[in-house]
Amino acid sequence: MTDSDEALLSPLPARSVILSLMMGSDSHRITSRQVAEVGHYFGISAATLRVALTRGVASGDLLRADAAYVLGPRLAARQRHQDEAVQEAADPWSGEWEMAVITAAARPGSERAALRETLTMARLAELREGTWCRPANLRRSRTYLDIPVLTCFQARPESDPADLARRLWDLGTWAKSAEDLAVRLRDTQAPAIRLAVGAQVVRHLNADPLLPAELRPPGWPGADLRAAYAAYQRDLRALTRP
C-alpha cells in the first residue's frame, strides 16, 4: 500500500468532516442538532465536534449565523470552485483560448504566490513563465481580468490545440487516478473512511482542467467520477437537511 492509499483510508479529523459536509450540502450551513447527528453517524464525540466548531470560528473558516454555522468567505469561494468541478460548468467551445500574461516583473514573493493561486483556481495553466492559458469553454466569471499586473485576451493557437492541452496538463495521470478513485468510492462502505475517499475525489475533481470534449483523450473518465461523487453527495446531503 502506498502513502496515498494509507491517507485515503484514514478518517478525516472532526473539523474536516464538518467542513466537507457543509461544502457539499444544499445550504452550506449546519445546525447544532445536525452536528450531533453527524457525530453519531461518523463516530465522533460531541466534545470533539464542539472543539472543532470553536476552532473553525476562531480561524474564520466558519461564521455563526443565528442558530447555525455557515462557511466563511475563503471557504465559500472554495465551495464555488468545487461546485464548478463537480457540475462541469462548461459551454460549447468556439476554439478560442483564454490568455493571461503577467506584465510586472519585480513583485514580492507573496504577491507572486497569490497570483499563481488565483490563476490556478481559474483553471489556467502556465505555458511558460508569466504566460497562462486555457480553452475558453467555462461558464464561470473571469475574476482575474481586473488584476492590474495582467494583460488578458482571447486567441486561437496556430499549433494543434490538443497537443497544447497535453503540454499544459498531465492528462494521463489525472485519468488513471480518477478511475481508481471511482472504484474506491464505490467499494468503500465504512462512513468515516468513505467520507475521506469523497474528500479525495473532490480534490481530484478540482484539478480537472474541464477541457472541451474536442481536447480530451479517448475514454476520459471525468464524467464518470462526477456521477459517482454526485450519487454519494446525495447521501451526505441527507445529513444536513433540516
- What is the tens place of the pLDDT at every residue in 198-216? 999 999 998 999 999 999 9
Contact call for residues 153 and 99 (beta carbons, < 8 A): yes
First to last CA, the chain: 40
pLDDT at 109: 84
CA 190 – CA 171 distance, rounded (Å): 31
Quote the percentage of the chain above a pLDDT of 90.
52
| pLDDT surpasses 80 at 242 | no
pLDDT at 8: 47
**Of the given ranges (14-28, 140-154, 193-207), which has the lowest mean pLDDT?**
14-28
Residues with Cβ < 8 Å from 226, sequence gap 6 or more? 85, 86, 87, 88, 205
* Residue 89 confidence class, pLDDT cut points 50, 70, 90: low
pLDDT at 11: 87
Strand locations in 129-233 (E): 131-135, 150-155
Query: Which of 10-19, 76-85, 106-115, 156-165 tops mean pLDDT?
Result: 156-165
* Residue 154 confidence class, pLDDT cut points 50, 70, 90: very high
CA 189 from centroid of its chain's CA atoms: 23
pLDDT at 106: 75
- What is the tens place of the pLDDT at every residue in 34-71? 888 888 888 899 889 889 999 999 999 999 988 889 99
pLDDT at 184: 93
pLDDT at 216: 94
Strand locations in 44-140 (E): 62-65, 68-71, 97-102, 125-128, 131-135
| pLDDT surpasses 70 at 127 | yes
* Residue 2 confidence class, pLDDT cut points 50, 70, 90: very low
pLDDT at 66: 80
Contact call for residues 134 and 97 (beta carbons, < 8 A): yes
pLDDT at 164: 96
Which amino acid would we find at residue 96?
Answer: E
CA 205 – CA 45 distance, rounded (Å): 30
Quickly count: other Cβ atoms within 10 Å of residue 111's Cβ.
11
CA 18 – CA 108 distance, rounded (Å): 35
| pLDDT surpasses 60 at 222 | yes
